[in-house]
Each structure stands twice: as C-alpha cells, then as structure tokens.
Structure 1
Amino acid sequence: MTEQSKQPHDENMTQDLNQDSNQDMNKEEQAEQSVTANETLDPRVLAEQLAERDQEILRLHAEMENLRKRVERDIENARKFALERFVDGLLPVIDSLEMGIQASENENTSLEKIREGSEMTLNLFLQTMEKFGVHPVHPVGERFNPDHHQAISVQPHEGPADHVISVMQKGYLLRDRLVRPALVVVSKNQ
C-alpha cells in the first residue's frame, strides 16, 4: 500500500471515531436531561430544592445583617478613634497652659518668661490644629473673597481697591471647609 492509499483510510477511521464519540456524548446528555427532568417533576425533590434555596436566602440575609452591624461598629469606632487622637493631641497644650499658670503664680517669674511660654503654647496648639487639618485664614494683601472673609469696614487706601488691608480676627478652614470667616478691613479707592 502506498502512502496515498493509507491517508483516506486513516481519515475515514478518524471520522468514524468522531461520530461514535459524538453519539456517545449525545446519549449521555439525553440521559442526564431525562434524569434531571424526572427529578424536577418529583415533588420531594422540588421541596428539597425549595428548602435549600430558603436556607441559602436566610444565610445571605444573616450575612448582610452581620455586615451592616460590622460596618456600623467600624464607623462608630472610627469616630471614637478620631476624637481620641484629637484629644491626645490637645493634652500637651493643656499641660503647657497649666505650667504657665503655675509659673505666673511664682513671684520670681518675669513677664518675659510668661510671654515666651505663652507663645510656645500657642505654637504647640496651632501645630496640633494643623495636624488635624485646621488652617488659619489670614488674608492681608489678598483680594476680598466673600466666601472666606467678612468685611467689617471699608477704608480708603493707596493700594488696589477691594483688597484686605488688615485682619481683625483670623478665620479658619477645616481642610477646605470654612469654619469661621476672617473679619477684615477692605480697601477702597481714595
């Protein structure tokens, strides 16, 4: 037999094998479908499946409820923790103020020492506030911004009009949100 005559025979055998395996697979699928169809029609099987689905729904509902409670607890803990960190940051300021009061009661303490201690306490307090996102609004020389400034007076000034020429009280921002506007004096043309 030549090489050419073997090839068609091999191809025919491969096709026959493929057809046989396809027929076997089709028979298996049909058998599975008939078993599944018979099972789905059986009321006991349907009742079991329904009970399984009910249990699955109850489990999912319980998981959702547990997740909701866990999230609520985490949010509450985050609030407590954030406040705890803030209070912890303020404790050194309180300590410094108490030391300043004690120092002022001593007759040997000079006014200069009390002033120096007060400045250090103020700087400590401002650093603590900045650590928590609180920043002062001190806009001298800036254009008047009604979103961040509250004009308490308008005065003639040599510089450009509608600019802040002095600050009576600093304003403060908590991150990007205004907590208190700065009380300012605004310039006008002479």
Structure 2
Amino acid sequence: MSDNENEIENDATAPQMPDADMDSAEDVLDAQAEAQEPDLREELGKVREQMFRIAAEAENTRKRAAREVTDARKYAVTALARDLLDVADNLSRALGAIPAEARDHASEALGGLIEGVELTDKTLHVALDRHGVRKIDPKGEKFNPNHHQAVAQIPSNAPAGEVVEVIQPGYLLGDRTLRAAMVAISSGQPAVPEDHAAAEAKGDEPGSNIDTTA
C-alpha cells in the first residue's frame, strides 16, 4: 500500500469532532473574549492616559527650557547694566549742574565739553536701550509700587498718589524692574499759603483783623 493510500485511510479513520462540539468551543472562546474585553479596554485607557501625560510633561519641559534660555539671554546684562546706571546718573547730574546762562555764554572749549557730555549721555542710553534697558520718568503717572519707590509725600493739587516729582529716574530691563524710580507723590491736598497757615495758628481767619467800621 502506498503512502498516499495510508494517509487517506488514516484521515478516514481519524475521529471527527461533531459540529455541535465545535460550536460550543467557539461559544466558550467568544464568552471568554467578551469577559476580558472590559479589562482590556480599561488597560488600554490607562496606557493612553499615561502616554498623554508623558507627552504633556515633555512639552512643558521643552517650553520651560526654551523660556529659561530666552530669559538667560535677555537678563545676562543685568549686572553690567546696574553698574552703568551709576555712569548715567553722573552724566545726568553733570549736565543738570550747568546753569542755562553758562550754556548760553560758554566759551568754545566749554561748549565743546558740554556737547561731548551730552553726546556721551545719549550714546549710553542708546546702547542700554539696544540691550533692553529702558529709562522710566514717571512724573504725572499713578504711583506703581512695582516700578516706583516713594520717598516723600508732598502737598499738591494733583490727585492723591500721583507722582509729582522724580528724584531719581528708574530703569526697566525687559519687563523687570532694574532700578525703581525714586519719586515724591501727591498727598491730594494743595499747599496752604503761609499767611493762611499763620492765621489758622492764631485761630483767626485771614482778613479778620481788618477794621471795617471806618
């Protein structure tokens, strides 16, 4: 008997699984799959949530690193800028100490010196501005504790809290205060004339001592 004939005979004599048993096995497998489906969905949801969280953390880290690099570049000149503010103050004081009459009648040499100081002051502030350092002169503005330092409160017709005098200008570096402006703010009350103040000290009204019987 040939090999092919043996295989045919074996197939013919092999026990066959009834169709009912096969259907039952498939039902069991389907039932097991359905039973496991909620667990698989829950696990898949957890994995997806974890992936989203990792992606969000990576994006936040990237943004934070980029912001730190930008800030490092922007504020790298902080120490140097603070030192240069003393130079700017000295130039400003030097120019402010020259009377207008002296400017008008200055000799050629003195006039050239004054122009040189003015040019140096202008060039310095242009250089500071190029690196993000801006001068603030807040006269007439509302007092801002983030940018201003009040050193005096004086009588004025201006609204209370308004800057009426700038004692020393301030400077900003980007959006940060490099140096607060030293200012005097209005008390909201006008100054009392000396004669009126003296009369009030005596308990008299101004003009109350005038003889009106004549």
* TM bracket, shorter-chain basis: 0.3 to 0.5
Higher helix share: 1
Instruction: Return the TM-score normalized by structure 2.
Output: 0.39
Instruction: Return the TM-score normalized by structure 1.
Output: 0.44
